[in-house]
Amino acid sequence: MDLKSNLWQQYIKTRDRKIKEQLIESYIELVKVVAGRLYSNYGNTVEFEDLVSYGIFGLIDAIEKFEPDRNVKFETYAYIRIRGAIIDQLRTLDWIPRSVRQKYKKLEEAYQEIENQFGQEANDEQVASKLGISTEDLRQMLSEVHIFSIVSLEEKISNNINFHIVDDDIHIEPQKHYEHEELKKILFESIDSLPEKEKKIISLYYYSELTYKEISAILGISESRISQLHTKAIIRLRNKLDKLL
């Protein structure tokens, strides 16, 4: 029996605080992995150490609530809780400049108006024309707001149900579980309707947990373009969810 398994057995039996501290120490590298992946996208506005400290709260929560007899790997369960804790903390901080929020709002409204008017996905030329800017300026704008767009999608989802995009936790009341599953269905259908490249980016980023650098290598396009397409995908998803929720 390895050290972690032994610690888990002792902790489940005793709920001893010192053993919990040992478990926290033994999984701290997992927190750093999750924080590192998020830092690759948020690094211009937050410190890595801050992300780690936010993630530790998620790790503690995971240790306290984990039920080994559910046959779910702790690492899988904890990854979701750690990432969720970091995102939740970022949402509560006033760390995104007002100008970025305003630009995002303008983009969201432009995409929504065009897609409502024509009944199809808005392209760069249409959105740029709507905003009175060049397509190059539009792409720069998409890059500038991509951090806020990621947080805004998770906020949109969590405002409807306490649900993270990769969360598959069913340890909830039957009614909550039903609502949870309905939201997942709506979200998956919305993702499936995205343009193919944007759909791939959403899948690779959220479900495969890849960084922009890793996605760039797979799709053969630059990290900045990944960021722009990701932002467009999130704007489209939020607009779809606004209509359905």
Judged against a pLDDT cut of 60, whether residue 9 lies above it is answered with yes
CB environment 119-144: b (16+ within 10 A), e (fewer):
eeebeeebbbebbeeeeeebbebbbb
Where does residue 236 rank: exposed (0-12), middle (13-18), buried (19+ CB within 10 A)?
buried
Average pLDDT over residues 4-29: 92
Whole-model pTM: value is 0.71
Question: Does domain 3-92 correspond to CATH entry 1.10.1740.10?
Answer: yes
pLDDT at 138: 96
C-alpha span between 155 and 233 (Å, rounded)? 15
Domain ranges of the chain: 3-92, 98-244
Dihedral, 3, 26, 57, 62 alpha carbons, nearest 10: -30
Where does residue 145 rank: exposed (0-12), middle (13-18), buried (19+ CB within 10 A)?
buried
| Confidence label for 10 from pLDDT (cuts 50, 70 and 90) | very high
Q: Report pLDDT digits (tens) over 154-175.
A: 666 665 544 444 544 545 456 5
pLDDT at 165: 47
CATH of domain 98-244: 1.20.140.160
pLDDT at 32: 95
Do the two domains 3-92 and 98-244 of this chain adopt the same fold? no
For residue 199, which phi and psi values (nearest 5 degrees)? -65, -40
